[in-house]
Each structure stands twice: as structure tokens, then as C-alpha cells.
Structure 1
Amino acid sequence: MDKILILDFGSQTTQLIGRRIRELGVYAEIIPGDAAVTDETLADVKGIILSGSPESVYSPDGEVPDQRIYSLGLPLLGICYGIQRMTVDNGGTVEALPEREYGSLEVNLTVPDDPGKLAGGDAAAAFFSGFDGTVPLDAIRGSTAAKSKPGASFSINSWMSHGDTITKLGRGFRQFGTSLHGAPAVLVHEERPWFGVQFHPEVTHNERGTEIIAGFVFGVCGCKPGWSMEQYIEEVRASLGQRVGANPVLLLISGGVDSTVAGALLLKTLNPDQVHLMYMDTGLMRKNETETVRVNLERLGAKHLHIIHCENEFLSALKGLTDPEAKRKAIGDLFITIQEREVTRLGLPDSYFLAQGTLYTDLIESGKGIGKKAHLIKSHHNVGSPLVDAKRKAGRIIEPLDRLYKDEVRSLGRILGIDEDVVRRHPFPGPGLGVRILGEVTKEKCDILRDADAIYIEELKKRGLYDEIWQAFAVLLPIRSVGVAGDVRKYSWVLALRAITSDDGMTADVYPFSMKDLLEISTLITNTVTDIGRVTYDISSKPPATIEWE
């Protein structure tokens, strides 16, 4: 099966590159940016992509790839840091910009009159087709590589995120694309199939991004589609069966999409008698969550479902804590502490495995990306907890979804036969309401937020808006504002509503509610939940904000 190898230098969007390629039906493998490129690693590889990075090429922390990649004769595509790395490695110069180029910026490109003389043949013309708005994706994916017309000029809105720029091209490179600020944005080698872009085509906000990647994968590398979600399931099942054997597996399950799909995959891969599902009623869950979880898991055929009521323990652990990271760590540590205690009560042997529904977005936001230089954005209770780290190092954690994004998890759930109502459910954070109540968490606040959030979600479903939104939820702010209840002056809590659209959770846009819907939902919440006196709507995109507030 044809494969594209991705060198990860720590970019928050590296996995998006792999995901875009998988969507095209081609297998993509990600390894650390400075890993040795061995013959085994190169098996079936048709091309190599160098990812972005939070570091500078001149920083001591800036990773350098195995220099063997430049002598293999394989096509190379450098993205952001990747093309800067290729530039410096080939005698060019990179310098800091006076101001960062960030966000949506125009890139202008002109196809040379003789593209066939570049990059060792027709590769350049095939690559340029990705920028050509007249060339559809299907044509680029076709058996005959699409080509752009010599001399044609194109303009796209790109997505940039860098503080350095190329000031001297590397040996053999020519510039064909320029940013709105005049910086090099598209480079092609004169003789070798080497390409570079100073933007992020993997991000959904980047115009023609998928087509540009497809132009490299199909037109330059000549890949043939051969990867699917069904094949992913077969590979995961084979890996799970070999690794776990007859040992018991304990899955900490929340009832959300991720952990439910992970549970279904375990139950359909292993003997259900060796799969134990543990759900903790932390007091930080959505309204009527415990009963909903029980019904859904029983439908999956779970034989060992353990529901632990531990609200008081979690509220005690959170008492007095206001810092988001401190709350996440407290929740994560207590999760594992209770799990260990309950495992003892269950009588499971020491050889048991701990399974989690961790997604790749959880890992990279926690600084646990493939490469060594991924930066921490926020910790996740099932990723950054010291106890979870210890189990991970001991090799006793199973995360069958850790290379998937939310939409891929939903697709996997449908293939596994999970009910559509569960598959369509909006994401819910592992720490639950603990990170949707800003400041200290109390039972009173949990009850208030639970009621308000339930009204919000139910209204979205009634109005036919729920499936248009990738994630919607309410946040209880740590402030009160003055209001009037009848003839009485009253200080009540302020609630924020959040609703975003996204393809993968890595970037997100605000859902454009009609003012009528917002007014009616706000009124219903304040009239029903009397402790809430004011409702706001969060209009922040990701980036710069994250989806959750904490």
C-alpha cells in the first residue's frame, strides 16, 4: 500500500496533514522530525512531508531531519518550518520577521512558462494544479495527473502562522508564490521533486488546501488510494488482540462519543467477558447522564458495567481550586485513584490493561504530539495526569482512538453499529462541568449549569440546529450581575453560551445564530433557571481561543 511519510517537528496541525491524506484514501505515517529514516521506515513510502514547528530553524530546540531524506530521490514537501528547514539545509537563509504573518493572508502564484523543466519533469505542473481553481479535486486524484496551464496566475487565501521568513533561497530552489507582504510563499526545486509552502494547506481555512496536498500526493508522488476506515479497524483489532491477549481490559467510560466508540471497539474485538466498563458518576456530568450511559452501554452488550457514585469525592477534591490546570490535574488524579481502588474491589489481576477514549486532539493539546517539540495548550485528565503518565510509561494503557479526530470517531462508530443518537452527540470534556464552571466548583453551581445546559441543548434540537453545530454547551462564569426579579433587586450568575462549527476540532468558527433564536433561548434559560440573570454568547473562533473555556 502506498504511503506518505510525515516528519513531525511539533506543529499543532501535523496530524491534520495525515488526516487530509487519509481522507484522500492514502495511508500516512507520522514519525518524530529528527527520527532516523531507516529502510524499514521507508517501506512503501512514495513521498515525505516536513511539518511545521513552534520553533525556529535557528533555535537550539529546532529539530533537524535525518539528512538522508535529501539523497533518497523521493519527493519532498516542506510546510512552514518544513520549507525553512529544507532551505537552511541546502545553503539558504531564514531570518525573523518584524511582525508575524498570522491568520488568513493572500498568496499570489504564477506558473512558469516551462514547468516541465522543473522538479525533474511533470511534477511541478501537477503540483501547481492544486492552486488552480479551475481544476477540481477529482481531476487531481485521477489516474492522469492534472496540470496547470503554463504562465497562468492564481491567488488563494492561505492560513499562515510563522515569525520567520526565507531571505535567501536554498540551492536549486525558485520562488513562484509570494505572500501579500512580499515574502516567499511557494518554492519549487529546479531539478529535484522538492516543493515548499510558507503556509498551512492542511488547515480547513486555507483555500484549495486539500487540492494542494492532493497535487503533491497524487500528481507528484503518484500514490494510489488504498486506505479506509474499515482497514483501520482491521489493523486496530489485530494490534489489540496481539497486545492484550487474554488479560482483562478496564475502560474508563464517560458515555460520550469517544469512550462509547472505544468501548464498542473493545467489545467487538475482544471477548466481552474480559472487557470491564467503569463509569464514574462524578457529579460533574450532564443532566440525567448516568441513566443515559447505562442504557447505551447495555445496548452494546456490555457484560461487566460498573457504575461508581463518587460525587462527594470529586467536589471535595475541587474545593478551593480556581486555576484551570489545577482543577484538571485534581480531576485526573482522582479518576485514576478511584479506578485503582475499584479495581481492587473488582479483583482484577495486576496484568489488566487500562483503556481510554483519548483522541489525537487531546494528545497534541497536552503537548504529547508525535514530535518532541509539541507545546502544551491545556492538559487533559486522561493525558497529562502524573498517574496516567506512569501507566503510559509502563505500557499498560490502550488508546485505540489516539490517531483519530472526532469526525473519524463518528464514522468508526457508525461502522461498529452504534446508535445514531449516540454517534451524533456533541463532544463533552472528560473533566465534565469541572472545566465549564469557571473558578471554584460547588454542587450548587453544578446543578445550576446542568439545568441551563439541558435547556440550551434541547432547544437546539427542537429548532433543528443541533446537527448544524459541531459542539454547543453552556459555561457558568465566576461573576454575578445585578438584575430584577419582579420588584426585587437580585444578584444572579452570568451564563455564557458557546456554539461552534468545525471539521476536526483543531480550528473552529462561531455558529451564526439568528438573533431570534438567541433571544428566545436566553429568555427561556433566565425564566426557568432563576439563579441565572444574564446570558452572553461567545463569538471567539479557534484560534486564538480554544473551544472549551478552560
Structure 2
Amino acid sequence: MKKNFILILDFGSQYSYLIARRIREMGVYTDFLQSNVISLSKILSNKPNGIILSGGPLSVYDNSAMIINKDIFKLDIPIFGICYGMQLISHIFGGKVEKSKIKEYGKSHLIIDSYSKIFHGIQKKSIVWMSHFDEVTKIPKEFTIVGHTEYCAIAALVHTTKDIYAVQFHPEVKNTEFGRTILKNFVVRICKCSQNWVLDNFVKKSVHNIRKRVLKKQVILGLSGGLDSFVTAIIIHKAIGKSLNCLFIDTGLFLNKEKDRIFSLCKESNLPIKIIDARDRFLSKLTGISDPEKKRKIIGKEFISIFQEESEKIMDAEFLAQGTIYSDIIESSSKNGFSSIKSHHNVGGLPNKLMKLKLIEPLKKLFKDEVKKIGVQLGLPNEILKRHPFPGPGLGIRIIGKINKKKILILKKAEDILMQELIKNNLYNSVSQAFIVLLPIKSVGIMGDKRTYEYSAVLRVTHTEDFMTATVSHLSYNFLEKISNRIINEVDGINRMLYDITSKPPSTIEWE
């Protein structure tokens, strides 16, 4: 049996990739199979030490629900069901799953009823994170209840003779007090995995694989200026040198002076860079568009069109490189008919007109924090390592509603002030992401004894470890007031500031 490998069967949960991240933190490798490709032969070919059944948005009694082969439970491989995974186990073994009388979303208190290996070292009462509208109302004969919450009588189950465990809550989410302990109990104590998986050889292996694949062909890479694209660029440059062609496409939707920053960083890293001014092109395509998904798709389509045009100018251009990471994939994927959270312009494969270019995505199985570790190994400067994430569509999705030049200028000035104050007050590196959202809502104000009727804007500042979940940053009122005063006084077009205190979930970090 292959050591250090946990297989996650993914049923479309927004938290699925957090399961993988938590397990990798233990030093154990894990990967996914989406539920539409689950088969016994596929599972056996992967030779996992253990299997985790993820959560998901459907009900096990729906006609469209994914019901796996019961023979999976005869493979003598430990299995752990989470949320939908628990309901699926119960359903397959003859239990009953129904809509909950009282839905649970958020923090609940788990009471452990009896000892189980999955709960080793955990207090009898602890905080767990619930997110369900169905629940198990009758357990299968082969199972016993080992935990409950105030509103969920059956919150944890174990098989009486086999290593099959199930919980209704989400141990992978940070809000679950002993979630990491529960996962470690399954992975290490039950599945007997050794904790020796590390990222140390990632760069070396990636360089070798890319060099072997590309040979003497040319690679095009769209450099956004963020951590993911820079790490991708450095790795590929190590592999093929001058055969890498970096493009910075100026959409007009970046922060001020971004073009100069990119050029300077590329020069320091000896990366070849070509800057393309496409500001008017993007703005003309976005004029009159207010739907966020349409904006994202238009921006993505224009990127692809420019890559196509540039590839035709480069002899032997055969590959398109992208800094796609795990979170991009999970938020963009529409798995088994499940709705995606939002699309990412660098996810989903290439359109027909770019099919001649083959994708290179060295980071697509890594989380953001893992990419940062790789960046440290590569010796990237703090300006890149500690830079706040910036969305691919840029300010286009921070201007809610229709986009025009005036709104872009307003938002750029507001963002400048925010960055200045974060740096001045030594807050930039202590928060995870900070930005301004311009609303399509105007409100009445008074400035200089005159009535104003201008836009409202929202300050969004979050704290997160992995960008899969996030909480609001608790900034002082003095700081918030300073930001508000400066933006309203210095930026023509904004006369009201608000502070977004919503966590992720239920919200996403970006508004669109």
C-alpha cells in the first residue's frame, strides 16, 4: 500500500480543499477524485491509506445525488464521512436522512457521548462548525452514535466493527475547536500514515518536468504581478530560460504604478517581459456590462485573444503557462452539476482558438500558503511574498455595476489612500487582504455647506490563513475614521464610507 496518501472523494463542498490543506499540514499527501469519476478500480489504482468523503450541496435522497458503490466499504480501507459524506454513509447502509427541523449554520457545541478513536484526546464538549439543512434521523444497524449537538441528535457515528467514521460538522474548518485533532486521529492513528511529505523537492521536480515537456519550444506566460504568477514565472524560467515569454497586459484595471512595479521586479529577477497597453480595448468591451460573471468572462476572453495574437508573433510558441492554484479551481469548478462560486479567468481550459497551446500550471495542486513557501525557497522579495492578493479581473470586479473611466479613477485614488495608511500604520503585513469596493449607489452628503450626491464605497479588510475561510480584521475606530476622512476629503466622487464585517463564508472576500 502506498504510504502517506489520503484520497478525498469530492462531492462539491466549498470546504473540500480545506480538508486537503489540513492533511498536508500534518506532512501527509492528499489528492482528490471528483464524484463523477469515482469507481472502485480508480480508487484501488490510487492505493490510498484512507478515504474521506467530503461534504456537498445536494441531498442524498435527490434524484441527482451522487451515490457511490457500497463495495467501497468492503475494501478494508478506513473511511471518514464529513457532512454529506456522513449522510451518504448512513443512506447506503440503510439509515434515514431527512431535512432538518432546525438548520444549523455556524458554531455549535458538540457533546461526545462515548469514546471513539476519531475523538481521541478531545474534550467532552467543544465548538464545531455546522453547515447543513439535512440530518441523519435514523442510524443504520451496524453503527452507533458517539456525538450530538443541541439541535442535531446524531452528529457523529462510528461503525461497530469496521474503521468507518462520520461526523455532521466540518473538522477541516478553523472554527471547529479540535478539528485538526480529529483529522489527525483519522489520518495518523487510524490510517497509520507517516508524516514525512514535504515541499522541499517541489521546485526541482517541477523544473525537471517542465524542461522535459517543453524541450526547445516557447512558453507564453501572462504575468499579473501577484505571488502565483511570479512563482510560476521563476520556476519556468529556471527550466527553460529565454524560451519563456512573459506578457504583462495592462487592462487599465490595475492599481496605480502597477506597470512600473512589474517591470522593475522582472528586471531584478532577470525575467523577460513585454508590456502590452490594452486599456482602451478592455474598457470598450466592458462598457455597459454590470453582471459580475459577464465581466469576468469578457476580461478572460480578452486575455485569451491577446495571448493568441502574441503567440502568432512567436515562432515555436506551443505552451501557455498560468499561475492557477487550488482555490482558483474550487471556486470556478461546476462539479457534477453543482454551481460554481465564481469563475476565474485562468481556469477551465482553453477555448478552441487557443487549443494549439498546451497548458502548463505547475502550482495547480498547491494552496496559497504552500505557494508562499515555494516563493521563500526561490528567494523572492517581500514585495512579492507579502503582497495582498489582487484579482485577475482587477478593479473591474471591485466596481459594482457598470464600469467607466471616471469610476476607475475614483477607485484607484481611494485604493492609493488605503495602501498609504496601511503602510504608514504598520498594518499592511498584519492583515491578509485590504481593498475598496465602489458601489453603484449614490447618497446625499454635505461638503462645504453644499449638498453632494456621490458614490458610496466599502472598505473590506480580512484576516485569513488560506483564503478559503476569512474573518473581518478588527481595526481600530481611529484608523477606520482616518481612512474614511481621507477618502471623502481627497477623492472626488465618494461621500460615504462603510466597513464590511462579513466573514467568508457566507460571503466571499471579493464582492464579485
Q: Which TM-score bucket, shorter chain as reference?
A: over 0.9
Gaps of 5+ in 2: none
CA distance in 2, matches of 1:13, 1:527: 42
- Say if 1:111 and 1:128, in contact at 8 Å, map to a contact too: no
User: TM-score normalised to the size of structure 2?
Assistant: 0.95
2:262 matched to which residue of 1? 293
SS in structure 1 of the partner of residue 434 of structure 2? strand
Per the TM alignment, residue 392 of structure 1 is displaced from its structure 2 partner at its CA by: 8.9
Partner SS state of residue 86, structure 1: helix
- Corresponding residue for residue 188 of structure 1: 158
Counterpart contact for 2:304–2:354, Cα < 8 Å: no
Cα displacement string for residues 493-515 of structure 1 (whole angstroms, at most 9, x for unaligned residues):
22211001111111111111111
Partner of 2:8: 6
Rounded to whole Å, the distance in 1 between the matches of 2:386 and 2:460 is 18
User: Equivalences for 1:221-370 in 2 at 5 Å?
Assistant: 221-268=191-238, 270-302=239-271, 304-344=272-312, 346-349=313-316, 352-368=318-334
Aligned-CA RMSD value: 2.0
Shift of residue 284, structure 1, vs aligned partner: 0.3
| Paired letter, 1:93 | K
C-alpha change, 1:43 and 1:284, in structure 2 (3 Å) is closer
1:394 deviates by 7.0
Shift of 1:373: 4.7
- Give the 3-state SS of the residue equivalent to 1:131 in structure 2: coil
Q: How is 1:11-410 mapped onto 2 (pairs within 5 angstroms)?
A: 11-33=13-35, 34-38=37-41, 41-43=44-46, 45-112=48-115, 124-125=116-117, 127-132=118-123, 154-268=124-238, 270-302=239-271, 304-344=272-312, 346-349=313-316, 352-368=318-334, 372-383=336-347, 388-390=350-352, 396-410=358-372
Query: How many angstroms apart in 2 are the aligned matches of 1:15 and 1:279?
Result: 30
Q: CA deviation at 1:272?
A: 1.2
Structure 1 stretches of at least 4 aligned residues deviating more than 6 Å after TM superposition: 391-395
Once the two structures are aligned, what percentage of the paired residues are identical? 41
SS of the aligned residue for 2:440 comes to strand
User: Deviations along 1:480-538, whole A, 9 cap, x unmatched?
Assistant: 22223323322222221100111111111111111111011111222222332221111
What does the per-residue CA deviation read over 1:212-254, in whole Å, with 9 as the maximum and x for residues that have no partner? 1001111111111121122333443344334333321111111
Structure 1: distance between partners of 2:160 and 2:471: 39
Secondary structure at 2:170 match in 1? coil
Shift of 1:130: 5.0
Question: Equivalents in 2 of 1:376, 1:393: separation in Å?
Answer: 24
Distance in 1, matches of 2:459 and 2:62, equals 41
Go from structure 1 to structure 2 and tell me whether the alpha carbon gap of 1:40 and 1:82 turns closer, same or farther (over 3 Å shift).
closer
CA deviation profile, 1:284-310 (whole Å, cap 9, x unmatched)? 0011000001111222221x3111001
Alignment of 1:397-546 (within 5 A): 397-546=359-508
Deviation at 1:343, TM superposition (A): 2.1
The offset of 1:42, in angstroms, is: 4.7
Q: What 5-or-longer segments of structure 1 have no aligned partner?
A: 113-123, 133-153
**Letter aligned with residue 310 of structure 1:** A
Change (3 A) 1:529 1:334: same
Cα distance in 1 for partners of 2:141, 2:89 equals 10
Between 1 and 2, higher relative CO (CA 8 Å, sep ≥ 6) is seen in: 1
Q: In 2, Cα distance between the equivalents of 1:411 and 1:453?
A: 28
Distance 1:234 1:390, change over 3 A: farther
Cα offset for 1:37?
3.2
Q: When the two structures are superposed, what TM-score results if normalisation uses the length of structure 1?
A: 0.88
Give aligned pairs, total.
Answer: 509
Aligned counterparts of 2:333 and 2:471: Cα–Cα separation in 1: 23
In structure 2, the CA distance between the partners of 1:391 and 1:179, relative to structure 1 (3 Å rule), is farther
Kept in 2: contact 1:500–1:508 (CA 8 A):
yes
